[in-house]
Structure 1
């Protein structure tokens, strides 16, 4: 799913659907979660004026839930289905928010080669050491980042073995977790050091920037979301 906000615009029939459009609960809720991560990632990357957009996310979640369930007079939702039971209509503000997210999102494509794999491996090794030594981070966040590091390493192994893979989602979530770590740590200078050493060059290699975003390649990136 390249652009989850565009998917949601089609799900709510704001934009036309293609033949065979997947409106299952699995795809719809995954798109919503990815949209939340995408907003967080844009904000982490320095995109401004997203507060109003972010405020609409709970309303979009509610409309999504109502699409798959029956609403009762007391406001409760029951009899959840795996496929839509109702066509919910988004408010103009929610529609504008999804359109804004879709238009402001950008593609991040990272094609590994031998030099990039070597550089990425060195980055992961230093990141692991930093995580282990940073006692100010919540244990759950440290475990989450380590899990994402392992995921990226598996992609590197697949590259070296000639196995087909897509590293982009893993990298987006890893960079997003680094942003969260930098926000939570008491050792911000160490996180800034590893960002300055690796992320500027790495992101410059594979971010396709939209000029309107005014993004700095040295800033971290979050995905979303899931």
Structure 2
């Protein structure tokens, strides 16, 4: 009786199988890594979108209602100005701080880019408004809310129609950087904010003057007109 030799895998076949298995494992590892990176990018994009939404909502609240009461300002033509000043890269105004325990009411605000630990940061500073002190306080050490922590850029544009009695020739036409008139509020603001990942969608904010009497006796300013 003849014994037939048992057949197994040759060394070459084993090497080929191991090589194919290695290629398959590398492909799977690459696919899992790509999925993880995609998920991380999606999470980062979602977090950035959420940060933008929170910052935009806050700015709409504090810039949507601005004090229109004109106060003495000897350096301004006419001797009076509203407590609102918009420069191409900063805004300072009196508005309403959203209510929270212990704080609220009329408040001095300043929005601008400041040097920070991680680079230029977009910071909203605020301090209580004192009606006996028409000039803005020193906000350098005031409470702050960081809206963009690094690589922040802010551009401020405004527009509005001339109020009664003001010649259109002496009034800003269309969107302008900052807001030159000191005696009247603009009707709208447009903020362009950029962070480390690029520009945000333009933030358009209608400006409404808070209904309070002017100390000049000639009415109050709402959105650039009386």
Q: Tell me which protein shows more strand as a share of its residues.
A: 2
- Name which one, 1 or 2, has greater alpha-carbon Rg: 2
- Of the two structures, which has the highest relative contact order with CA contacts closer than 8 Å and spacing of 6 or more? 1
